[in-house]
Amino acid sequence: MKKIFLLVAFVATTLTQQLFAQDIKKSSLTPLLTSYYDIKNALISSNSTDAATHAEAFLKAVNSVDMKSMPAADMNAFMTYQDKLAFDARHISESKDIVHQREHFANFSANFFKLAKAVKLTDQPVYYAYCPMKKSYWLSADAAIKNPYFGNQMLTCGKVTETLNK
């Protein structure tokens, strides 16, 4: 009887630790998603200064992720995209030209979605939308279309093609 009690206690402790580990895993890359949305929202407003500022924050975050706390599979996925994401974030951060920023944002978004599919960044839905004019995608926390490639010129152009965490 005592053995059974110990076994139950052991299993309960292990489960709790696993739940806790998932929380840590989620939080170590989640700031990147928040930062991505900040850049995206600045581009929706056609605000190149804000886009640059948020891209600089993204660049800092992507270069300072604590990989030791991540599961191996997540770490491998992250390492596949880290340099690519840093490259486009740096170009967006160093430019005040919204056209140039949007060029990089297209590639940036495609790579970021690959990361978001490989690693669970959030429990909330992530909408992957497509702009047929730009032939490029972006991620959004909202299903409603707000186009970061054209801003007010074509705010509702595009459609959701895929949804994570439905």
Q: Pick the closest to residue 121 from 28, 10, 14 (CA basis).
A: 28
Q: Does 40 bind Cu ion (CB under 5 A)?
A: no
Please check whether residue 66 is in contact with residue 32, taking contact to mean a CB–CB distance below 8 angstroms. no
Q: Which is nearer to Cu ion, 98 or 119 (CB)?
A: 98
- Options 51-59, 87-95, 141-149, 154-162: segment touching Cu ion (CB under 5 A): 87-95
Q: Which is nearer to Cu ion, 55 or 139 (CB)?
A: 55
Query: Smallest gap, in angstroms, from Cβ of residue 22 to Cu ion?
Result: 37
**Cβ atoms within 10 Å, residue 123:** 8
Q: Which is nearer to Cu ion, 94 or 162 (CB)?
A: 94
Q: Which is nearer to Cu ion, 50 or 94 (CB)?
A: 94
Q: Pick the closest to residue 65 from 82, 85, 51, 88 (CA basis).
A: 82
Query: Smallest gap, in angstroms, from Cβ of residue 54 to Cu ion?
Result: 16
Q: Does 91 bind Cu ion (CB under 5 A)?
A: yes
What sections of the chain are H helices per DSSP?
A: 2-44, 48-62, 72-93, 98-118
Burial of residue 144 (CB within 10 Å: 0-12, 13-18, 19+) is exposed
Query: Smallest gap, in angstroms, from Cβ of residue 134 to Cu ion?
Result: 16
Q: Contact positions toward Cu ion, by CB under 5 A?
A: 91
